Amino acid sequence: MNSKISSPYRDDIVISWPELHRDTRILCHALMEKGPFKGIIAIARGGMIPAALIARELEIRLLDTICASSYDESEESGAQNTRSDVKILKGVDHDGEGFLLIDDLVDTGNTARVIRKLLPKAYFATLYAKPLGRDVVDLCVKEFSQDKWIYFPWDIDYKFVPPIKKNV
């Protein structure tokens, strides 16, 4: 039986590279008031690009990752948008004191809560947040409603789309 899985997302938000850079710089300005930080811990994979940009802007040279998996690939789209249990694939050997914990997005907060318990003393910042996860992070740049699916620049491919009139 081929049953279609119903999605909790009403529509999509596409974040462009320029928007991501702008929002990261806005985050950096706010982080300047919170630091200095010993280093950055990026939540892999989504937090790795923002963490690298933040490391550059704040001149932080100590970078580490905590690796977690909380999405499974959808059979229909190939996108990782099906929730699963949070699995920590690689941790760090401290409680996060003096470190900046970075992710691209906090969605439901499930992954963030697990990581927050492992690194309770880290300062947790994300570029974007949704209501169910917003309370887990200390700082974010933008908030989106829970029913939006966020596509990051590394998730999409730009291609030509013919004018609407040509498709009629």
Catalytic residues: 103-104, 107
Distance (Å, whole) CA 138 – CA 147:
22
How many CA atoms does the CB half-sphere of 2 hold within 13 Å? 2
Strands (DSSP E) found in the chain: 11-14, 39-44, 63-72, 82-90, 99-106, 123-129, 139-143, 148-151
The answer to whether the CB of 49 falls within 8 A of the CB of 23 is no
